[in-house]
Structure 1
Amino acid sequence: MPQHEIHTKPYYLVDRTPMPPGIPSVPEVGATSAPLTSASFFIGARCAPYNDDFMLCHAQSKSPQTDCLKEGRRVTRCAISVLEDINKHCPSEFKAHWECLEQRNHELEKCRLPETYLNKCVGQFLNLTKTIPDAEGVPVHLRNVKFT
């Protein structure tokens, strides 16, 4: 049974169990929810193949918590690379957008202007576009939604 060290900070748990041999180490992403939300579509765009491999492994494995660690590490490394690239090429646009999300309780519709600048910068420098699933190419805020 793994030994856990519990700290006084809420929701803070350190598992000291070493990783199995053959599983490469990977640093933590180290981002809070606002930057991750801001970059999520770009992470999804670049990391889709790694995420698909991880999800396939997870669906087919009898014990995915241990069998899919390598695939999970690849997803984490990819996400870190996207965040690093956005911070390198679009630092002010990225910061403006995630700070807006943080200040407005992650309500995306209240941060469309900084999002527009971020999307343009990331598209220009990283060649990544924000694609919303099932939106048929129309941004969510421009769709005509009919309620019945």
Structure 2
Amino acid sequence: MIKELFVKSENGYEKMIIRNYDYSAALQSLQQTCFPPPFPEELLWSKEQLDSHVRHFNEGAMCAEINGRLVGSMTSLIVAFDPSKPGHTWEEVTDNGFIRTHNENGNTLYIADISVDPEYRKLGIGKWLMQTMYELVVHRRLERLLGGG
């Protein structure tokens, strides 16, 4: 999926592209920028986790770019969620961030992560990434979007 739109920044309107991500060192760098210490470094996405996201559910691995710079990312997976039994942990649902628990026959798009570069916050990037996930819910005819944290 590729979506092009314009966001208003202090430099005027800038073209933003939302697309599926593949592994890149820029994704890991974005995580470090978005979640600096004292955020535990071991909780940042590893290359193995990012590779797993792409392999298990590339459609739910999104990033945002402005002028060729990665400025945001969002990761999701499909799960079978029973609202009468809402109790769960992020680690259980996401298989500790590897999303090997992705279930093509599930009913819920589960947001595992969202990050936006601090220099690009307040431009609506997170909102546009989330809107793209809502569109994925409609496209896949899922029942809901659920965020984990």
Q: Which has the higher helix share?
A: 1
When the two structures are superposed, what TM-score results if normalisation uses the length of structure 2?
Answer: 0.27
When the two structures are superposed, what TM-score results if normalisation uses the length of structure 1?
Answer: 0.27
- Bigger radius of gyration among the two: 1
